[in-house]
């Protein structure tokens, strides 16, 4: 077994959540890495869509923004932004949305807008972008972010995008027919909503991580499922694919552009 970092374990565990048949709306950052590792390992035919309008993209290096030229160059086709959000997302064509966030609560609602009051924020974050409608219009949502007390909070100052709201059947009550968040992948464990209460519950713990550390790093009293498994360690293939794409990406982003001209 090769050594791996918690961050590598997180990306690989997130990649495993995706399958070949997914049509996936990809958030930038950690979700983008996970989606491309999936494409380069077990899900070669997955359709990756970025909100810039690039559909079926196969980037060789991870984009820094959601609209790098690399995405358009390698896409099956590229549409305008209104078409992206109207026909493809709101039209119900996307099976899976993959999001990150600054803060999450126990019902997988996300905040990327403000810390503190909206009118006088302590910290002004970038905002929602595509997330509010990705969260409601995709068939299901995966979320990936590191497990920290700052990120996993008892109460969100602002709900940028809805997960399971107040829990239970809140989504249904608002007329939503999509599943919402079905899995949250962190650097220590994987959480899934309880079937009834919809509260995020630990279902799998990454190798070498103890329950105490998970409890310490979560801002609410975190629950564990009746059966908790150990996340399988990354395979050599998974690790080498992830490290290769990260190395290509680092080299490219330090240069002027996509990295292609440097290759």
Partner 1 sequence: MARIMSLADAVAENVRDGDTVAMEGFTHLIPYAAGHEVIRQGRKDLFLVRMTPDILYDQLIGVGAARGMKFSWGGNPGVGSLHRFRDAVENQWPRPLDIEEHSHAAMANAYEAGAANLPFAMLRGYIGADLPKVNPNIRQVTCPFTGEVLAAVPAIRPDVTIIHAQRADRKGNVLIEGIVGVQKEAVLAAKRSIVTAEEIVEELSPASPNSVVLPTWAVTAVAHVPGGAFPSYAHGYYPRSNAFYIRWDEIARDRESFTAWIKENVLDATPVDFARHAAQTSAKVA
Quote the distance between the C-alpha of residue 103 and its chain's center.
13
CB of 165 to partner 1, least distance (A): 5
Nearer to partner 1, 227 or 256 (CB): 256
Nearer to partner 1, 32 or 204 (CB): 32
Nearer to partner 1, 20 or 87 (CB): 87
Q: Which of 51, 70, 199, 238 is catalytic?
A: 51
Strand partners, 115: 123
Tell me which residues touch partner 1 (CB under 8 A).
28-29, 51-54, 63-69, 71-72, 78, 80-82, 84-86, 89-90, 109, 113, 118-119, 121-133, 136-137, 158-162, 165, 170-171, 174-176, 252-258, 260-261
Beta 140-144 vs 181-185: how paired, if at all? parallel
Please calculate the CA angle 136-20-105 and round it to the nearest 5 degrees: 35
| Phi, psi (degrees; rounded to nearest 5) at 236 | -60, -40
* 51 classed as catalytic: yes
Q: How far is Cα 53 from Cα 77, in angstroms, rounded to an integer?
A: 8
CB of 128 to partner 1, least distance (A): 5
Q: How far is Cα 228 from Cα 231, in angstroms, rounded to an integer?
A: 9
Q: How far is Cα 110 from Cα 148, in angstroms, rounded to an integer?
A: 14
CB of 160 to partner 1, least distance (A): 6
Q: How far is Cα 119 from Cα 174, in angstroms, rounded to an integer?
A: 27
Nearer to partner 1, 152 or 158 (CB): 158
CB of 134 to partner 1, least distance (A): 9
* Residues classed as catalytic: 51
């Amino acid at each position: 077994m090769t050594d791996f970092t918690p961050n590598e374990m997180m990306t690989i565990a997130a990649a495993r959540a995706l399958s070949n048949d997914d049509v996936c709306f990809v958030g930038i950052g950690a979700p983008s890495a996970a989606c491309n590792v999936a494409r380069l390992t077990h899900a070669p035919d997955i359709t990756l869509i970025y909100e810039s309008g690039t559909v079926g993209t196969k980037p060789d290096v991870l984009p820094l923004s959601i609209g790098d030229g690399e995405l358009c160059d390698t896409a099956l086709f590229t549409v305008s932004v209104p078409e992206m959000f109207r026909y493809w997302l709101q039209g119900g064509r996307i099976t899976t949305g993959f999001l990150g966030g600054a803060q999450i609560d126990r019902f997988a609602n996300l905040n990327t807008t403000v810390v503190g009051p909206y009118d006088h924020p302590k910290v002004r974050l970038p905002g929602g972008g595509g997330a509010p409608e990705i969260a409601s219009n995709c068939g299901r949502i995966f979320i990936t972010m590191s497990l920290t007390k700052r990120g996993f909070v008892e109460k969100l100052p602002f709900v940028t995008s809805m997960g399971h709201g107040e829990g239970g059947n809140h989504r249904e009550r608002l007329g939503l027919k999509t599943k919402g968040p079905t899995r949250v992948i962190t650097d220590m464990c994987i959480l899934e909503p309880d079937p009834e209460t919809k509260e995020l519950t630990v279902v799998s713990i990454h190798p070498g991580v103890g329950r105490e550390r998970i409890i310490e790093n979560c801002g609410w009293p975190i629950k564990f499922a009746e059966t908790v498994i150990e996340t399988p360690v990354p395979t050599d293939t998974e690790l080498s694919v992830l490290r290769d794409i990260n190395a290509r990406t680092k080299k490219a982003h330090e240069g002027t552009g996509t990295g292609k001209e440097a290759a």
